[in-house]
Amino acid sequence: MVLLALGGSSFAQVTLAAQTPSASVTPTSGAPITITLQDALQRARLNDPQYRSAVTDLGLSREDRVQARAGLLPNINYNNSFIYTQGSGPLPASCANATASCPASRFIANNGVHEYISQGDVHQALSLTNFADYRRSSAALAQARAKAEIATRGLVVTVTQAYYGLVVAQRRYATAQRADAEAARFLDISVKLENGGEVAHADVIKARIQAQQQQRDLQEAQLAMERARLDLAVLLFPDFNQDFSVVDDLQTPEPLPTFDEVEAAGKKNNPDLRAALAAYEVASHEVTAAWGGLLPALSIDYFYGIDSNQFAIRTNGVRNLGYSTVATLQIPIFSWGSDRSKLKQAELRRDQAHVELNYAQKQLLSHLRQFYLEAKTSRSEMESLASSAELAADSMRLTTMRYQAGESTVLEVVDAQNTLTQARNAYDDGQSRYRVAVANLQTLTGTF
């Protein structure tokens, strides 16, 4: 059985697989594409916007962590500046005497008429907020990975429903064709029996009504099949394409593991639980970052290069290259309560994330049981549905023979025809139901 092979692998492997569709996906010239379920999953990963959005969010979270890590490491910049200030002109000779009255200097903020700055700056900022932001970005990356896994498994359910929806629609169309042929054959039998005086004209009227109804059902089945094809085509192709066929593999259902195995896999591999746990960690680190706004922050700058009146390494035998260091300790005093308000907001988000984590744990246990019971029930019903379809076919054959022998009524034949159609459709629906139920279960457990 080719079904849902993704949950246990890493997301990187899933993304890589999405970039390399299998050979069967490549169309041959002049022939429709034959698509298996695995081919459909690969194509959908390339074209589904919700899935691609989750992949994009994962990439953005990776870059957020790179940026947060850079905030913990020293940054190096090289600055070049030239500052020109209008001078006061030559000073009078009397100004050589310190007690003489001299004109005020025009130098306002600079160290000379010409000041050249060309130096490197190594900057390091240390604060609780920076460390918390890095840890928050790491938790956010884990949350994005879990959400990407959720999107991957959710896409499997969507594609599985659409894929087997088309398979079942094709089967229903084939069943409607057989029912239409059987109704036409029964109408012909009724007409011949009426001509032989063996049945009343009312039987022919009923047979004709049945034949017309089967024709209408055939048209509706064809419409449903085309709708299912269009729904699947939207998922699979970057441009609109209906020229494809799907492989009907509903006859080979895989066995269902025990509930204990499913429960263990769900607790270990459930991405919803991992996402909720990561969200709680993100909220906790946001509280720590908010505390950083209330505590002192230290920054250190080390400068090396030229800061002189001439742009030269040496001037009059004096080396202009030098260094300086600036250390700043910023102590928050008063901010009109904004820092404490940010702390309160972070604590509220953390409390909400904790509630959501507890809910996710309970929901996991509930969904595990629900989805497992759904899969188990649909699996156990398939044998009964197959038997009902076979019995309905035998009933249809025998009732028609009895009608020809004058031992049954037209209503019994019509009822047998309808029962056969319903039994065949129910069997097809039951097989598809099991596949979708397994896909839903594997959203919680991964593959098994």
Contacts of 175 (CB under 8 A, 6+ apart): 221, 421, 424, 425, 428
Q: pLDDT (tens digit, 9 = 90+) per residue, 302-345?
A: 999 998 888 888 888 889 899 999 999 999 999 999 999 999 99
DSSP 203-229: HHHHHHHHHHHHHHHHHHHHHHHHHHH
pLDDT at 229 over 50: yes
Kindly provide the b/e burial profile for residues 116-130, where b requires at least 16 CB atoms within 10 angstroms of the residue's own CB: bbbbebeeebebbbb
Please, is 316 exposed, middle or buried when counting C-beta atoms within 10 Å of its C-beta (0-12, 13-18, 19+)?
exposed
CA nearest 158: which of 249, 275, 43? 43
pLDDT of 106 reads 54
Mean pLDDT, residues 394-422: 93
Cα–Cα dist 161/183, whole Å: 31
pLDDT of 102 reads 59
Could you give the dihedral angle defined by the CA atoms of residues 3, 381, 246 and 2, in that order, rounded to the nearest 10 degrees? 20
Q: Contact at 8 Å (CB) between 444 and 374?
A: no
- Confidence label for 10 from pLDDT (cuts 50, 70 and 90): very low
pLDDT of 94 reads 61
DSSP 303: E
Q: pLDDT (tens digit, 9 = 90+) per residue, 104-144?
A: 555 556 677 788 899 999 999 999 999 999 999 999 999 99
pLDDT of 57 reads 95
Least confident of 106-110, 157-161, 288-292, 318-322: 106-110
pLDDT at 21 over 80: no
Q: pLDDT (tens digit, 9 = 90+) per residue, 193-221?
A: 999 888 899 999 999 999 999 999 999 99
Q: Model-level pTM greater than 0.85?
A: no
Mean pLDDT, residues 288-308: 94
Average pLDDT of the chain is: 88
Number of other CB atoms surrounding residue 287 within 10 Å: 20
pLDDT of 107 reads 54
Q: Contact at 8 Å (CB) between 351 and 279?
A: no
Q: pLDDT (tens digit, 9 = 90+) per residue, 29-88?
A: 457 899 999 999 999 999 999 999 999 999 999 999 999 999 999 999 999 998 887 766
Q: Contact at 8 Å (CB) between 129 and 286?
A: no
Q: Contact at 8 Å (CB) between 428 and 250?
A: yes
Percent of the chain exceeding pLDDT 70 equals: 88
Please, is 255 exposed, middle or buried when counting C-beta atoms within 10 Å of its C-beta (0-12, 13-18, 19+)?
exposed
User: What's the Cα-to-Cα distance from 418 to each of 107, 211, 252, 323, 403, rounded to whole Å?
Assistant: 104, 11, 27, 95, 16
User: What's the Cα-to-Cα distance from 384 to each of 66, 152, 371, rounded to whole Å?
Assistant: 57, 33, 21
Cα–Cα dist 160/235, whole Å: 11
State the greatest distance between any 2 C-alpha atoms of the chain, in Å, as a whole number. Answer: 148
